[in-house]
A and B are shown apart, each in its own frame.
Chain A
């Protein structure tokens, strides 16, 4: 205690106390804050699951337990803010569930992207049940199984060899889809005309009216982007295959995924590609501050007072 007493009037004592307090709060928060469940999305077969692979009965159980409380047992919706599902199509179901937005914890608010709460197999069963029992005459868009989804996960495979095989197969498929589009100009124009004014040029997302926002689409798989376009989730308009053809969608998706994978030629810090706001912030907080610190340093020598 004597050690502290001797130094408590030191000019730096105040700063030390503040730093210690901040460190305490930071470490305390990190220790106590709830960690999100690390539910990992699993692999999905590239082709549509055949009737033999799916278990419609289990799909019904999932629907009745996780969806029906808002959307109704027959999917016709309810006054709990659950819309009618009968004509949305299976692409919408796949999009909402695979991006973790459904089941929603708060139907009155826009849902952020989260890890999926069920396995790929359960989702396939759910979609099979939806297609068989709830969907009205095949209304809405189907899941675009030909568009690549997420990469296979190591946890789903028993041995390294089969995992790497599946991964190589997936990567071939992914590259074929992205490189199958060769008209950058078309993809760019489509993206910048239809998507960028909400999701921004980089796919980083942006603010919308009435407290909503356009989510960033860096984590979105080509299939999820495709499904979002054909189902128009939330405030997003629907871009059906009639308005933007599947080939054009491929160009568009290829443009935005290629842009996102593009290395930052200008330096290792890309400032999250936020652009001018971040650049202005850095020019003041790092650039000018360092230079002024230098000015203080080189003029400090001859000061008599202070």
Chain B
């Protein structure tokens, strides 16, 4: 393609007309050629973006018929089983969408499945960013925006789940109200304000509807736009490899290569969600029936993303409740209900700054870490996943108990122990695995890869022939950063014998301790040269190797 092709005259005319007025050619050229790294884990955020778009489109469709009203009506629609049953207009209009609107049932199921996938993709996207250290400077603020999106998406999902006013949604709203009531002093006022009186009142659906279709989506949309825009400006991180550096990004240009891929990926995401919606029944509100305050059922849970809160509510003991001047402080609801959520999002939001404080590393990081090369961070992440996972499982302990024939109380006791022991074990195991992988990396770097060919030497000795790794592999392995901390570099005393004031204060000591913990175990690649190991292995380096 050495020949320069010229655009057709008509296109050129339009292009020149626009360019003469807005001078877009230069910025357009620059942005269309923007490079995107090619790795599947960089596509996870796009799943979230696409499912959000699907949510917006299907959500608009649903608002055309949904009536956010708690006025009681007697059902007289197409769904025979519930004819003559009194219910709220919200529930009746949802039945109308399901059974009288063409394609309404499918669209409602797409909306629900897309919500589950949206939240799930947010989580995996966030984990990818955490484990590769993509939250580090300069991307801390975008990380915080991401945490906000995650938190808001959970609330948005909860409110959407509550709108049809069916049996489980009413139970969910009741739990929400219970958590509100547990807030000391202002709890009952907040509840009365939100519900416009006692539970359930006549306003809650209307208010949740406004929050679900207007306020929260608007904020979410703004945050998502900001999130993507910041990525655009700051560019993606990228995994280490040949020709990649802090300054140069390697990948596919936005146009045409990446745009085609991303467009195709949108349709695939949509296909999976639509396929699930067509064949797998979700949230069958017509089977649940309408909510009444006297109705209650076992075996129903919130959607999965609320599961960890449900679990922490189920696990937390009620022996710590106490009273002040006759006013009960319900720690058994307050701590697991609000505390767990605060802890999760607080820890997520604070981590970039905590890590920076520990390492004292203020440099901008555009290269993604391989998770094994930051063993403490990776182990902490897995410990966090373990706590979350245990709470999540505990949220469905009745279903687990029934499905696997385990005593319900036993599951609670197991989870209570696991929520403390699990993360410790996970931390230790993960860190050891990371260090093991680092050792193998050093081995590969020094010796090349095992070829599987066994050779007999003239002396009779058998050796396995190692072959040299590709240049790209070498580049990846050699990129391993050295984890250090400025806290450890600051000497306790300077050359004049004066103690370092920062290291003497409790905070300074604490930071040194953390820095030591964060950096102490690491496989050093010092002095390791690519593909020199075979030679070394049989001579001088042998003793040194053992010393490790």
- Residues of chain A having any CB pair with chain B under 8 Å: 9, 183-185, 188-189, 192-193, 196-202, 204-211, 213-214, 258-259, 262, 264-271, 273-277, 279-284, 286-288, 290-292, 294-296, 298-305
Contact = CB atoms under 8 A, between A and B. Distances in A.
Interface string B471-509: 011001000000000000000000000000000000000
A189 B292 contact: yes
Interface in B17-49: 38-44, 46-47
B398 interface: yes
B188 interface: no
Contact of A283 (B113, B398, B452): B113
Interface in B365-399: 396-399
Nearest to B86: A185
Contacts of A188: 85, 289
Contacts of B304: 276-277, 279-281, 283-284
Contact of A184 (B85, B276, B399, B470): B85
A258 B81 contact: yes
Q: Which of A196, A266, A271 has the most CB of B within 10 A?
A: A266
B280 A201 contact: no
A282 B86 CA distance: 33
B116 A275 contact: no
Contact of A291 (B47, B295, B305): B47
Chain B binding surface, main DSSP class: helix
20 contacts: A9-B452, A184-B84, A196-B298, A205-B299, A207-B397, A207-B399, A211-B409, A211-B410, A213-B401, A213-B405, A259-B287, A265-B284, A267-B282, A277-B304, A287-B113, A287-B272, A295-B44, A303-B39, A305-B472, A305-B476
Contacts of B292: 189, 192
Interface stretch (B1-9, B145-153, B195-203, B263-271): B263-271
A265 to B, nearest CB: 6
B294 A193 contact: yes
Contacts of A275: 168, 283, 299-301
A291 B167 contact: no
A187 B265 CA distance: 48
Given A267-B279, A284-B120, A305-B241, 12 more contacts: A196-B297, A196-B298, A201-B287, A210-B407, A266-B281, A287-B116, A287-B272, A291-B121, A292-B47, A298-B40, A301-B38, A302-B252
Contacts of A197: 296-298
Contacts of A290: 272
Interface of B: 38-44, 46-47, 81-86, 98-99, 105, 109, 112-113, 116-117, 120-121, 124, 167-168, 241-242, 252, 261, 264-265, 268-269, 272-273, 276-284, 286-289, 292, 294-305, 307, 396-399, 401-402, 405, 407-410, 452, 470, 472-473, 476
B281 A287 contact: no
Contacts of B38: 299, 301-303
B17 to A, nearest CB: 36
A183 B85 CA distance: 8
B241 A279 contact: no
Contacts of A305: 241, 470, 472-473, 476
Given A269-B279, A299-B38, A291 B298 contact: no
Nearest to B281: A266
Contacts of A286: 276
Contacts of B405: 213
Contacts of B284: 264-266, 270, 273
A259 to B, nearest CB: 6
Given A265-B286, A267-B281, A299-B38, A204 B295 contact: no
Contact of A211 (B44, B83, B301, B408): B408
A185 B85 contact: yes
Contacts of B116: 279-280, 283, 287
B85 A192 contact: no
Contacts of B261: 298-299
Given A269-B281, A287-B273, A208 B47 contact: no
Nearest to B286: A265
Contacts of B397: 207
Nearest to B474: A305
B62 to A, nearest CB: 15
Nearest to A287: B117
Nearest to A260: B287
B287 A287 contact: no
B483 to A, nearest CB: 24
B284 to A, nearest CB: 5
Contacts of A280: 116, 301, 303-305, 307
Contacts of A200: 297-300
A267 B280 contact: yes
